[in-house]
Amino acid sequence: MNKAQRTGVTLALVISPFTSCSSRSTDGYILITSGATDQVFMLRAETGVVEDSILLDPRPGEVDEPHGIVATSDHAHWYVTVSHGEPTLWKFETSGNRLVGRVPLPMSGASRIGVTTDGTVAYIPDYYRDDVEVLGEVTAMELHSLRTIANKTVCAAPHDAQPAPNGASVAVACSASDEVVFLDPRTLAITHAVKIVGHNNGKPLNLVWAPDAESVYVTLNQARAVAQVSPTGGVLRTVSVGSGPTQLAMSPAGTLLVTANRLDGSASLVSTDSLVEIARIPLGISHPHGVAISQDGRLAFITYEGDTDTQGGVVAIDISQKTVHWRQDVGTYTLGVTYITHK
Amino acid sequence: MDQTRTGKLKVVFQHNRVSRTLLLGLSIAMASSGCFLDPDSNGPSFAFDAQTIDLALTRDTAFALSNNGSDAFGPISLVVTSLETTAGEASTGLELVVTPAEIGTLNAGESRTIVVSVAAPDGTPDNAYRAVLVATVAELGTVATVELHFTIVACANADVAAVTITDGPTTLRQGDVGNFSVATADAAGNPVSGPPPCWEVVPSSAGFVDNSGNFVGYEPGNATVVVQVGQGADSVDVNVTARNVSGTLNVVGAGRVDTRFTSDLWVHGNVVYTGTWGTRSSSAGQQNGNTLFVWDITDATAPILTDSVRIDARVVNDVKVRSSGDLAVITHEGSGDGQNGITLLDLTDPLRPTIITRFSSSLTTGVHNAWVEGNFVYLVVDGVSPTSGLRILDISNPNQPQIASEFYGGSSFLHDVYVRDGLAFLSHWNAGLIILDIGNGIVGGTPDNPVEVSRILTQGGQTHNAWYWPAGGYVFVGEEDFGSPGITHVVDVKDLQRPKEVATFRVPGTTPHNFWMDDAAGVLYLSWYENGIRVLDVSGDLLGALDQQNREMASSVYNGPALTRNWAPQLHNGLLFLSDLESGLWILRFTP
């Protein structure tokens, strides 16, 4: 039952290592979740070489689907959700990728994880992916001892919950009600809600805060757009991106957004200053899903799910060159991604 | 807090007499062990905080587990082992409840409170008991143990001076069940009603007797059945004779699938349908569970793969064929379009199915298992939510299925559904086995309006699958637990509204999966992953540990110990068809 094992890395195949013109090198690693094989893989950020794999398989006879993954800002720990069956949150030490905790989550389907800047609290939405409107909860989990500190019904099918950099609020993307909801970080009481109008069935999916905590950027999955939303006002601006944007990430300097566009297999680079799509990069992959950016801001890592006939994997984009730096087929139904500076 | 590190188990006995209630406050004497993995203070170091605890008569007992090392660890499971009398005899029905059963994480230098209570059913014999509570971390193994002691006084009743066994067998075949009756009297010899008798078998390995005096013999030879009430006691010797059941399993044929994992199967006529599961890497590359394979078994010694159906899924976990043979349902999980649901197949040419329609409305989280009965399909919808659970689909018009009704049993996810005699048996994981009336009439349910008849949480939960045997009045319930490992539980449903667990069957090493039964013969076939296929004689009344009764007639790890992972059996035209996760389709013949 308590399996978190190293597994072979035979699933990893380097398909076509592209080389950028840049002579710089990005240190660190990325961690990705392979939903259909119940694994987490660790890859070198610069090369895409698979360095480690960890099996997260509480029920070996079932597909449990590791989904969301996030590292704390000091990169000392990383956390991963397992979505199916009875959802769980797993805690690992980055040093040695060692399992140090696991707890059941009071929800139907765990997707993303938002962790406070100080790494003490995680917010996990209860995402039940159905075509009927299901009110879902957000759970606040104290990460030192892995105890639930708050749990509250928020909105229909919340998919992502991210705390503001200053800890003042938690933004929630409510995918079935076309809202972005802001919560009190301690009580999870709703303090403000913004209806995304003008984008019928826009399906807010994932979000990222601006560094000044004055706004959040949210992907509108069915509207092919990203909206900038005020935590106290409404929708500030929107920008069109590729088809079916899922996750997005912000560069460390806060000047650039990268979206993974699931339906057209591309990535969009969006300037946060002008909120203009400055590039749309065809990735040649099936179903881009997750996004992370290296600490030096040079590389963006985009996972792809693959489809039911093909493997998933990761593509690294050289942001300044707007080119694919490497591609690695690894995992199946590859979903979440996070960057860590060391192992 | 005791931080003694002796490296040895220190045991302190403290027996006190306790009056029993149904749920006793724990009365424990505990001895904290020093099972440290590494005497070096920088290594893992865990300890329970007490060596002895005074008896608590009517309340739970709390103590702590501390992490005295320098690293965090978790999760830490807490499991009671070796619950027995201090004389070393087994105790049946007695249970220690540990809360929490698992500690998510325990950081360096921190402690976590653990609460233990005793659940003692009526009839638990008076005795001093001991148990060991074991704390385990997966990567380290056992990190700490504590020995628990308590004493129960139950059968004392000043009014009862004598008890006599008045009726019961003196010879009984191994595994068969006999009943003993008793009469109680006061000091003057007048009949008097006493508390429920306390029963015991001596030696405990010789058999089992329940609170009603039902006895089953385990080992051939002599067993002494002892009864105690108040000051009275009586006993009778029973000669347990050998059960003498046996059989052989021989491989007839196989249809190898080496490039995908194989899931469930269904056999109809001369055709077998096998599903596929998850992601497999092989010389053929990486293959997902997106395919249904179709096999012609006209010659069972040489199945021929005639066709395959590819769908948008990463798991085709289940396939079922309607008894009329004209239609099949296959399930989708992990579909690329996120819609999942089911696909209905037209079997006009059973060797070459054609797709009627894919239906996904309100099934988008995925469908794990299915059952077809007449014009209704019973579907297991993934999730732990009121909108997950059972969906009953009306397929009167297979081109346009309609949702007829839904049911969610709460608190855990639904894993499987089995339908028979107008009853649906839901394997609802930690919510237990739930019986629904969907046309039986017992509580007025219909497919449009299923009504719960009853539910039971078998010990250990993780209710994975069930098979109802109406003639015997039993449901066989699979507990899929890869850690314990899993157990097959036998639930008596002769009174469907009051199910009760009466027996278990265990095979060491791994966990059971799906079942099939030869009703007429009273033979149960159990798929048991790496333990292959097991054939169990379940005739007659069932009680106690079936694995101690020489009821297993045959078993086969048909593809060798390293490559066998049996998923599901189906008995068909005298042959046993098996799906195997690693190797596809197998056909065996069982000869009693």
For the segment B333-349, what is each residue's pLDDT rounded down to a tens digit?
999 888 999 999 999 99
pLDDT for the residue B207: 95
To test the contact with chain B by mutation, choose from A53, A55, A63, A99 the residue with the greatest count of B C-beta atoms within 10 A, namely A63
Single-letter amino acid, residue B303: P
- Among the residue ranges A160-164, B75-79, B281-285, B325-329, the one predicted with the least confidence is B281-285
pLDDT reading at A21 higher than 70:
no
Most confident of A10-24, A113-127, B37-51: A113-127
| Residue B6, pLDDT score | 26
Cβ of residue A332 closer than 8 Å to a chain B Cβ: yes
Residues 101-140 of A with CB under 8 A from B: 101-103, 107-109, 128-132, 134
Which pLDDT score is estimated for B42? 63
Q: Mark yes or no for CB contact B286/A311 under 8 Å.
A: yes
**Chain A, 148-187: which have a CB under 8 Å from a chain B CB?**
none
B75: preceding bond cis by omega (within 30 degrees): yes
Q: What is the pLDDT of residue A3?
A: 43
Q: What is the mean pLDDT of chain A?
A: 90
What is the predicted pLDDT for the residue at A84? 81
Strands B544-545 and B500-505: parallel
Per-residue model confidence (pLDDT) at position A146: 96
Chain A CB contacts of B334 under 8 Å are 35-36, 63, 65, 308, 333
DSSP 8-state code for residue B549: T
CA angle B412, B417, B422 (to 5 degrees): 125
Q: What angle do CA B350, B354, B358 make, to 5 degrees?
A: 125
**Quick one: A135 exposed, middle or buried, by C-beta within 10 A (0-12, 13-18, 19+)?**
middle
Tokens of A324: 């694919």
Residues in chain B: 592
What pLDDT band is residue B107 in, cutting at 50, 70 and 90? very high
B196 against A133, higher pLDDT: B196
Give the list of residues 6+ apart from residue B520 with CB closer than 8 angstroms, or none: none
**Token duo for residue B13:** 């006995």
HSE (side-chain half, CA atoms, 13 Å) at B424: 35
Q: Where residue A23 falls among pLDDT bands split at 50, 70, 90?
A: low
Rounded percentage of chain A residues whose pLDDT exceeds 70: 91
Q: What is the mean pLDDT of residues A300-315?
A: 94
CB contact under 8 A, B480 and A128: no
Q: Tell me which residue of B342, B337, B334, B336 sits closest to B362, measured CA to CA.
A: B342
Residue B385 is predicted with a pLDDT of 80
Positive or negative, the CA dihedral B391, B394, B400, B402 is negative
Which residue from A minimizes the CA distance to B72?
A100
- What is the average per-residue pLDDT within B22-48? 48
pLDDT for residue A20: 43
First to last CA, chain A: 26
Least CB–CB distance from A85: residue in B77, B286, B413 = B413
> For chain A, how many residues are written?
343
Q: Which of B149-158, B170-179, B426-435, B520-529 has the lowest mean pLDDT?
A: B149-158
Q: A147 to chain B: nearest residue by CA? A: B104
> What percent of chain B lies above the pLDDT cut of 90?
71
Give the residue from chain B lying closest to A129, CA to CA.
B365
- pLDDT bracket for residue B460 (50, 70, 90): confident
Q: Say yes or no to pLDDT of A205 above 80.
A: yes
Contacting residues of A for B278, CB less than 8 Å apart: 36-37, 63
* Mean pLDDT, chain B, integer: 88
| Whether residue B29 has pLDDT greater than 50 | no
Strand, helix or coil for residue B205: helix
For residue A126, give the DSSP letter: B
